[in-house]
């Protein structure tokens, strides 16, 4: 498994929209120097055309915004848990929306790494207990849990 930095933040109260949610998550990555400043804008542009909201079998919504790997310095994921759901366009049908309670902003330095982690996350997202653990664990426990689950999957 590649070296991976995982940041976890909780948003209490309301975040305006998917645009603000992506900026919030990206800012956390930028503060650590894991991405270039352009990465956030690239995520926003991509989300307009190719939304990343997923409606899971249990009715939970998850968003997985990401952008061009050339704008990434360090493999990282910015996980944001929302107190109140944020509406994203659905990946399967851009005309539909899904209210997301958690977001995984993915930033990987190569296309292969990105696809590898994305495949593993999709598998994990099918497991209701994984999503519930990501929602319910203490903030400082989530990163370690996600990393362990990615390695195990």
Which are the contacts of 80, defined by CB distance < 8 A and separation ≥ 6?
8, 9, 10, 11, 21, 24, 25, 28, 102, 103, 105
pLDDT at 38: 97
Residue 37: pLDDT band with limits 50, 70, 90: very high
How do residues 82-123 score in pLDDT, each as one tens digit? 999 999 999 999 899 999 999 999 999 988 988 999 999 999
Strand boundaries in the chain, DSSP class E: 5-11, 53-55, 61-63, 76-89, 97-107
Query: What is the three-class DSSP state of 77?
Result: strand
pLDDT at 79: 98
Closest CA to 21 of 69, 82, 76: 82
- Global pTM value: 0.94
Q: Is the pLDDT of residue 1 over 70?
A: no
Q: Is the pLDDT of residue 57 over 90?
A: no
- What does the block give as tokens for 53? 């909201």
How do residues 13-31 score in pLDDT, each as one tens digit? 889 999 999 999 999 999 9
How do residues 127-139 score in pLDDT, each as one tens digit? 989 999 999 999 9
CATH topology of domain 5-152: Mannitol-specific EII; Chain A (3.40.930)
Residue 59: pLDDT band with limits 50, 70, 90: confident
pLDDT at 60: 87
- What does the block give as tokens for 121? 């996350």
Query: What is the three-class DSSP state of 95?
Result: coil
Strand boundaries in 12-121, DSSP class E: 53-55, 61-63, 76-89, 97-107
């Amino acid at each position: 498994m590649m070296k991976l930095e995982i940041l976890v933040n909780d948003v209490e109260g309301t975040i305006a929209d998917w645009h603000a949610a992506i900026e919030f998550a990206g800012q956390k990555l930028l503060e650590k120097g894991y991405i270039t400043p352009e990465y956030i804008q690239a995520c926003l542009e991509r989300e307009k055309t190719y939304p990343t909201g997923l409606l899971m079998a249990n009715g939970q919504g998850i968003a997985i915004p990401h952008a061009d790997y050339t704008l990434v310095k360090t493999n990282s994921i910015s996980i944001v848990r929302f107190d109140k759901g944020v509406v994203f366009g659905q990946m399967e049908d851009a005309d539909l929306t899904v209210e997301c309670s958690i977001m995984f902003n993915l930033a990987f330095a190569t296309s292969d790494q990105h696809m590898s982690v994305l495949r593993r996350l999709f598998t994990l997202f099918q497991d209701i207990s994984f999503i519930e653990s990501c929602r319910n664990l203490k903030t400082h426990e989530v990163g370690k849990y996600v990393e362990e689950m990615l390695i195990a999957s």
